[in-house]
Structure 1
């Protein structure tokens, strides 16, 4: 699942410190850690052109396979908002909104002007679509109707027939990707995306990387630091992913995170006069469970289009609203409609935001890219029987989200491109200080992941938001904004363990 970009305008201006590092203009050679034979990629220069609303666009080339840099190439799309004060420009601030599968180009277009005032003045804010994502040699596997069926599938199977139906959907997903994107699948993983980011750093003329990554973007940033520690200037890793977890451990822990966020929502809802769940937080959770069972037995109605709102669509709608506290009033309305009128229209509308489904039934390629990157990044269970053990574990620790979250990764069992590389902590030895931000009740990236990543990184510094929602920076908390902007501008992080409220 990925970050929902919320247009929250930051109003706090920072008193910036100075930083001597400036964007460089000379041609660069591959740094230590770069693949041999990649000189031509590192020496390319981007040709920026205006693409509306003050933004500039460009494309870069990277090798499909870094082991064979003379072979096929991929095109990477970039967008930037140039620094407002060119005379005091520090360099480029690369960004990634998460996913995997989130479009960095769209993120920058939506969010670049919500960065702090001094950050906007002194950095070109750059978004790029990682390989296989958006407009960067995009990976496509599933049609709109096929994705509709995949998301509607019953993720709380009551018998073997329903388990077999889930397995069938998983195989179908993997088979479609094998048929349509077999050549690209082995090369869309995070390690290669991080290598691409270093090529892009050189292509814009920066000697070292300044970066803001949210959610999965923290894994991409940590992978970059592990491969190129000497090229780190300042990395902000917001809503951290713990690299050492296995593929299924990640899903189980994420399900627990959504359960924690749901309890926080229920407690808040119970205090509100418009809460459809009652005034007792524990009873509120029980009413949500009852709604899930009702939708499982008989889908909710939908006045928006012909889809039925199955239990899985309803669960996704609830999960979407837990990403940002600003969505909680909408969730109360959606639940009121579902409970009182059996109407799931607002729930499925929320769910469509999560998976980037348009009202005409088309999807962005976010889902396909998300699945492809996740399936190739880490080893997967060898068969359905082994996978079900993780589902059973998740159901015990997260009764309302466990099965929904973990069954969603089932296509990886059948994926045509697999890795044997086991997950491990990323230390990035020798890197400059790296700022890791965690939110205590983050649904999608549990706070424990931020704490763990900060410990695992040799130069990690932990900044905590005592709050709700997914990620912390760009959400308007003055303490988080001030500490992060100061770090981006000067390279000086806050004191390790700082807590913002």
Structure 2
């Protein structure tokens, strides 16, 4: 199993959760003041004038307006090939004070689809006062999506043994990792080398200009925060009211991200086990630590004795991934997981667990995947954070990480090989984070978030210098519009009036 795949598909699930929200949970914030640039907007980058001044032809697409905009594939060669991005705008219910750009995360999540759910992802006050805009990043969803992998290939990736116990199993991981890169090299074309976050941030500034906003007001969730941070360093004069929710620091290496995620998800396993111990439908018995141990033993047992359901294999990596998909979310979601887990553990019936997993990862009943988030995730992640190690390095990391993260550490280490084998390299250097370069932003982090651990929010807040960190003592992955009136009120006040919350605000 490649645990690193947790980031792409499951960040998109923020969308699914948001769709179910009721607007009654939002507080009203009547004070409204339009955002404006603190200083003149940065001049149009040389050679990009035609992109910044292009005519946008909007068309009605249900309850929104939609269009395609054109950007250069390679910003170092603006006269070369171009690609099209899908943009959607959901108009404000009353009078807009500006546009609020949104991104749900990923890499691989559709900002276009996320924005079209505007009534559910932001409060009524924000809907009244902002046009909500989503631009799918290049190569993602509706923006000239790269398509490298078939459904069978993605199934093979999920089923690949990420905890190899023999040289033969290790070789299988190496081969599957190489196959992913080779397939994308063969099918994705020139865009594959230009899907880094820095490219997405540059695209976002063109989109900002084309909706006639002097500054970028923004909600970036999970990986969307990475885009926002990079944007703030490239275009500090163009930063408006920016909220980064569930923060992914751009300066962390792939090795650091993978290790710290594995350790954070390990804590989530312990939390699940402690909760399971109090539930009558828990498939295991005993206290939390005992249940966590039994769960790991059951997963490991699937390595040699997998369950079969309609030709599909529920082995250790697939079952671990199904578990992981629920650890992203608060304990209330465990009520769905426990019966499916019980069916597999007690009865050997894998069907309920497959049904839950398929819903989480957008796999249709015909075996096709409904989006390209797997390919997009690898393309962006491996450009942003190349892994320079080899199999020997991975073997060493797997031994180390098995100690601090016994459920996920080994698989997370072996998952690094995909980026070691990635066929494309970004020509851009990583963007350094400079304190106080941009206006103050809000950094929102959840205390028990396994996907974007709390220390990442602290790290970015310290690096930015003038940012305000808001803490939510919760298990949610991301915080805004997830049920906390305290969080929503602070963020809405910032978007509506520019008012910063108190320093070190903690919401219970």
TM-score (norm. length: structure 2): 0.92
Residue 293 of structure 1 and its aligned partner are, at CA, apart by: 1.4
Select 1:291's aligned residue among 298, 304, 316. 298
Structure 1 residues without counterparts, runs of 5 or longer: 24-28
Give the corresponding residue for 1:355: 361
Cα distance between partner residues in 1 of 2:451 and 2:157: 21
Structure 2 distance, partners of 1:329, 1:95, is: 30
1:290 deviates by 1.5
Q: What SS is found at the alignment partner of 1:252?
A: helix
2:347 to 336, 341, 347: 341
Question: Whole-Å Cα distance in 2 between the matches of residues 348 and 69 of structure 1?
Answer: 46
The within-5 A match list for 1:106-185 is 106-110=113-117, 112-185=119-192
Q: Note closer, same or farther for the CA distance 1:495–1:390 as it changes in structure 2 (3 Å cut).
A: farther
Partner of 1:15: 29
Q: Residues 183-214 of structure 1, C-alpha deviation per residue, up to 9 Å, x if partnerless?
A: 11110000010000000000001000000011
Q: CA contact under 8 A between 1:261 and 1:322: conserved in structure 2?
A: yes
Corresponding residue number in structure 1 for 2:3: none
Segment of structure 1 superposing worse, 117-126 or 491-500? 491-500
The answer as to whether partners of 1:113 and 1:120 remain within 8 angstroms in 2 is no
The Cα of 1:348 is off from its aligned counterpart by 2.7
Choose the corresponding residue for 1:319, options 324, 327, 351: 324
Q: Deviations over 1:11-58 (max 9, x none)?
A: 2232232213379xxxxx9835x6420011111242222111x12211
RMSD: 1.9
Q: Is the 8 A contact 1:213 1:238 kept in 2?
A: yes
Q: Work out the number of aligned pairs and report it.
A: 490
Deviating more after overlay: 378-387 vs 334-343: 378-387
Per the alignment, in what secondary structure is the counterpart of residue 374 of structure 1? helix
The answer to whether the 8 Å contact 2:197/2:380 transfers is yes
Query: Aligned match of 1:308 in 305, 313, 325?
Result: 313
SS at match of 1:257: helix
Q: Is 1:78 the equivalent of 2:91?
A: no
| Cα pair distance change 1:342/1:111, threshold 3 Å | farther
Q: Which runs of 4 or more aligned residues in structure 1 lie more than 6 Å from their structure 2 counterparts after TM superposition?
A: none
Looking at structure 2, the residues matched to 47 and 18 of structure 1 have their Cα atoms a distance apart, in angstroms, of: 30
SS of equivalent to 1:483: helix
Distance in 2, Cα, partners of 1:114 & 1:369: 23
Separation (CA, whole Å) in 1 of partners of 2:185 and 2:121: 40
Per-residue CA deviation, residues 266-321 of structure 1 (Å, 9 max, x unaligned), is: 2122122222232400011011112111211111233xx42111111111111111
Query: Which of 456, 469, 478 is the equivalent residue of 2:485?
Result: 478
275-284 or 97-106, which moves further after superposition?
A: 275-284
CA-CA distance at 1:78 after TM superposition: 1.3
Q: How far off its partner does 1:150 sit?
A: 1.2
Q: How does 1:6-85 map to 2 (within 5 A)?
A: 6=17, 7-11=20-24, 12-21=26-35, 31-32=42-43, 35-52=45-62, 54-85=63-94
370 and 43 in structure 1: CA distance in 2 versus 1, 3 angstrom threshold: same
| Mean Cα deviation higher: 362-371 or 428-437 | 428-437
Greater shift in the superposed pair: 206-215 or 321-330: 321-330
Checking the alignment, whether the CA contact within 8 Å between 2:245 and 2:443 is kept in structure 1 is yes
Q: 1-side partners of 2:118 and 2:333: how far apart?
A: 18
Q: Secondary structure at the match of 1:290?
A: helix
Query: Contact between 2:35 and 2:498, CA under 8 Å: does it hold in 1?
Result: no
Question: Does the Cα contact within 8 Å between 2:34 and 2:496 map onto a contact in 1?
Answer: no
Matches within 5 A, 1:185-264: 185-264=192-271
The TM-score with structure 1 as length reference comes to 0.94
CA distance in structure 2 between the aligned counterparts of 1:424 and 1:183, rounded to whole angstroms: 22
Deviations 1:448-483 (A, max 9, x none): 111111111132211011011211112111111111
What secondary structure sits across from 2:302 in the alignment? helix
What secondary structure sits across from 1:308 in the alignment? strand
